[in-house]
């Protein structure tokens, strides 16, 4: 292979009908700064517009319904006001030459009655209490036992995803990512540590994967497969997640998703530094050989690891989280191999402009 043929992290990339300016993706990042009614506000517009030099921005998760909310001040995509708020975000990103997908999110059991309409219980595939605490308006509170969804309720949640996908179109996004990772509702259906059902949505691999595949089918019917991605976290123990055979499970998922011809598969490697906590460890990069389409990786990549991953064909695209929080011009900093701003973890979740829109650019 000649140098001209070696894939370059900074080169344009064809993602379905879209042409990305580079292969550096801004990962979805919960920041807890939505306005009243969980509506994106002017501060969010500025934040996303600052980062429009990314090849693609994947927005923070937006809950598909009020019951899908798990944290304070996270934006939704189920009301007219939220759609209007997101329209301001997408317009600002597009004005700066950027592209942005919306991440569709339902947290399932990772919530608390104080965050939900009329103080109802969080829902889940099964009544399995997660270890840990919920982040609420009144501070940290112990998780509560979720309510197991009845079989005839699941179709309604799939319709919420379908409507949210339509709302994302109205809001001006370039596509959507289905959040099937990190211990939230779809992931809870996938893993046998949280799915104890004995109906058509539980038991063997085919049944546990059914909810994800039906959600994907609904979203693809709205957007077309070339505007839809899916995110998975096969070795992530976050939110008290585990599976007895994650390699078999996620290999099955990746193979089943191939049938949709989606625009990408986004696999986060989070959990590699805690081998075995989410179940018998396997190398998440093995899914690269199962998935037949564009492959995006994520978690802890620095400049050199990302350049190598693309050049060696381990991934087509690399998503960055914390580096994009602290460096709105991360692409240019990586291109020049310039020093990076250090992130302030104390300002990751909640607050105002500090630690959100006030990180300096190189020219500053």
What length does the chain have?
364
Annotated catalytic residue 184: yes
Take residue 290 and report the two structure tokens written for it. Answer: 């199962």
Query: How, if at all, do strands 24-26 and 18-20 pair?
Result: unpaired
Take residue 30 and report the two structure tokens written for it. Answer: 């919960």
DSSP assignment of 177-224, as one string?
EEE--TTSHHHHHHSTTT----STTSSSHHHHHHHHHHHHHHHHHHH-
Q: What is the CA radius of gyration of the chain?
A: 19
Nearest C-alpha neighbor of 233 from the set 289, 190, 176: 190
Distance of CA 362 to the CA centre of its chain: 28
Let me know: does 275 contact 304? Beta carbons within 8 Å. Answer: no
Nearest C-alpha neighbor of 161 from the set 213, 196, 118, 205: 213
Sign, CA dihedral 318-290-105-222, equals: positive
CA-CA distances (angstroms) from residue 74 to 44, 298, 313? 11, 22, 35
Let me know: does 325 contact 296? Beta carbons within 8 Å. Answer: no
CA-CA distances (angstroms) from residue 340 to 39, 297, 322, 325, 331? 31, 21, 11, 11, 11
| Residue 56, beta-bridge partner list | 25
Single out the catalytic residue among 71, 161, 184, 201. 184
Which DSSP state fits 76?
Answer: B
DSSP percent split of the chain into helix, strand, coil, nearest 5: 35, 15, 45
Find all residues with CB under 8 Å of 102, minimum gap 6, and list them: 59, 62, 77, 86, 168, 171, 173, 175, 176, 177
Take residue 147 and report the two structure tokens written for it. Answer: 């309510």
Active site residues: 184
């Amino acid at each position: 292979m000649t140098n001209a043929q070696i894939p370059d992290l900074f080169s344009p990339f064809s993602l379905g009908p879209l042409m990305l300016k580079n292969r550096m993706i801004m990962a979805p990042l919960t920041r807890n700064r939505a306005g009243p009614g969980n509506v994106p506000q002017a501060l969010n517009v500025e934040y996303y517009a600052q980062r429009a030099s990314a090849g693609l921005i994947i927005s923070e998760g937006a809950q598909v319904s009020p019951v899908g909310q798990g944290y304070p001040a996270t934006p939704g995509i189920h009301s007219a006001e939220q759609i209007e708020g997101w329209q301001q975000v997408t317009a600002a990103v597009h004005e700066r030459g950027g592209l942005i997908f919306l991440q569709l999110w339902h947290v399932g059991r990772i919530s608390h009655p104080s965050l939900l309409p009329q103080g109802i219980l969080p829902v889940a595939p099964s009544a399995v209490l997660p270890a840990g605490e919920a982040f609420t308006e009144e501070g940290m509170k112990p998780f509560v036992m979720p309510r197991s969804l009845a079989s005839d309720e699941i179709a309604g949640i799939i319709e919420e995803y379908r409507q949210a996908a339509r709302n994302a179109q109205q809001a001006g996004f370039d596509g959507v990512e289905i959040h099937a990772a990190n211990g939230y509702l779809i992931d809870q259906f996938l893993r046998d540590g949280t799915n104890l059902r004995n109906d058509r949505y539980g038991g063997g691999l085919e049944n546990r994967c059914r909810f994800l595949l039906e959600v994907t089918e609904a979203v693809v019917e709205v957007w077309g497969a070339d505007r839809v991605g899916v995110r998975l976290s096969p070795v992530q123990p976050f939110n008290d997640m585990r599976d007895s055979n994650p390699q078999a499970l996620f290999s099955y998922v990746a193979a089943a998703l191939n049938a949709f011809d989606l625009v990408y598969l986004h696999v986060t490697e989070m959990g590699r530094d805690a081998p075995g906590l989410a179940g018998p460890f396997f190398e998440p990069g093995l899914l690269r050989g199962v998935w037949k389409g564009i492959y995006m990786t994520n978690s802890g990549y620095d400049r050199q690891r990302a350049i190598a991953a693309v050049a060696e064909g381990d991934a087509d695209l690399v998503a960055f989280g914390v580096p994009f929080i602290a460096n709105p011009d991360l692409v240019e900093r990586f291109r020049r191999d310039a020093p990076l701003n250090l992130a302030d973890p104390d300002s990751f979740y909640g607050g105002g402009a500090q630690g959100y829109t006030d990180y300096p650019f190189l020219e500053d």
